[in-house]
Amino acid sequence: MGADCHSITPGNALDYVPALRENGMRSALYSPHELRVESKDAIPKLAAWLEEKHGVSFHWSTAVTGIDGERIETSRGMLNAGAVAVCPGDDFSTLYPGRIAPYGLKVCTLQMLRIAPAAPVHFGAAVMSDLSFGRYEGFADLPEGRALAARLDADSAEMRAAGIHVIAVQSSDGSLVVGDSHVYGNAPQPFAEERIDDLILKGFDEIFDMPGRRVTARWVGTYASASDRTVLVDRPADNIRLVMVTGGTGASTGFALGEEVISDIYA
């Protein structure tokens, strides 16, 4: 709940991230708790560790097509399990569509970029902009946040309409992962819009002074989204839990959620 977070001066912020534009920055909120991993590297390593150290069996390239009690029907045959956690991501139609439908979920499609600075830069912290304060409920729902949102709606209407908030973090190779947008619909949107990438870059350049920076990768991501909850845990049977993160925080909250779900199943 904001423990150890504190306001810092523009000069302090430049100590952490020298590439920030000082012009127009009045202050910043600093959190000492932020950590990140490179998901494309961490997830395979995590799976390998679970297999080697804990004997977990992974059935790769296998689709689950049905669940009946302790029997799990897959594209490679039948499995038996005393407890089942169903985590369908943004697939609302394959498993338990009748239980998912009442929650009125949408699919959020987002666009992200990887940027290579022309000269080496150092990020001592992740950086988010005022657009982030206007988007995340923890800030936006405060009385002061509502005033900021109104100002952003007037000054950055196109970015706000595309759900853009600028967040930039540094990878171990020195490149920057930059995002992102949020467009909601009934299905993933497979085609990235150049207009949205341009708006993200516009927001990036308003915050950072990085002449010569270039985009080296672009991608689209999707996740399940709900307007009234950040996590969905449903109980199709005593031994089955239907589990979905519906607030865009799966990487941040997945381990804690998994611990809670397992404890609930075996309670």
Would you say residue 7 has pLDDT above 90? yes
CA–CA gap between residue 130 and residue 164 (Å, rounded):
11
CA–CA gap between residue 150 and residue 16 (Å, rounded):
30
- 111 confidence band (pLDDT: 50, 70, 90): very high
> 88-106 in b/e burial notation, b at 16+ Cβ within 10 A?
bebebeebbeeebeebebb
- 203 confidence band (pLDDT: 50, 70, 90): very high
Confidence at residue 257, expressed as pLDDT on a 0 to 100 scale? 97
Q: What average pLDDT score do residues 205-211 get?
A: 96
Question: Which stretch of 49-53, 167-171, 236-240, 249-253 has the lowest confidence by average pLDDT?
Answer: 249-253
Contact 76, 144 (CB under 8 A): no
Confidence at residue 25, expressed as pLDDT on a 0 to 100 scale? 87
Q: What average pLDDT score do residues 149-159 get?
A: 92
Residue appearing with tokens 């990140």: 36
Global model pTM greater than 0.85: yes
- Amino acid in position 54: H
- 145 confidence band (pLDDT: 50, 70, 90): confident
Confidence at residue 36, expressed as pLDDT on a 0 to 100 scale? 86
Would you say residue 194 has pLDDT above 90? yes
Q: What average pLDDT score do residues 38-47 get?
A: 92
- 39 confidence band (pLDDT: 50, 70, 90): confident
Confidence at residue 264, expressed as pLDDT on a 0 to 100 scale? 96
Would you say residue 199 has pLDDT above 80? yes
Tokens in use for 159?
């970015």
Q: For the chain, which domains are there? A: 6-33+106-225 (3.30.9.10), 40-104+228-265 (no CATH)
Q: What average pLDDT score do residues 212-220 get?
A: 97
Confidence at residue 230, expressed as pLDDT on a 0 to 100 scale? 92
CA–CA gap between residue 222 and residue 72 (Å, rounded):
26
Tokens in use for 121?
């830069």
Contact 128, 166 (CB under 8 A): yes
Q: Which residue has the higher pLDDT, 40 or 260?
A: 260
- 134 confidence band (pLDDT: 50, 70, 90): confident
DSSP assignment of the chain: --TT-EEE-HHHHHHH-TTB--TT---EEE-S------HHHHHHHHHHHHHHHH-----TT--EEEEETTEEEETTEEEE-SSEEE--TT--SSS-HHHHGGG--EEEEEEEEEEE-SS----SS-EE-HHHHTTSHHHHTSHHHHHHHHHHHHHSHHHHHTT---EEEE-TTS-EEEE---EEESS---SPPHHHHHHHHHHHHHHB--TT-EEEEEEEEEEEE-SS-SEEEEEEETTEEEEEE-SS-HHHHHHHHHHHHHHHHT-
Q: What average pLDDT score do residues 80-93 get?
A: 96
Would you say residue 2 has pLDDT above 80? no
Confidence at residue 229, expressed as pLDDT on a 0 to 100 scale? 93
Confidence at residue 168, expressed as pLDDT on a 0 to 100 scale? 97
- 140 confidence band (pLDDT: 50, 70, 90): confident
Confidence at residue 82, expressed as pLDDT on a 0 to 100 scale? 95
Question: Is residue 155 exposed (0-12), middle (13-18) or buried (19+ Cβ within 10 Å)?
Answer: exposed
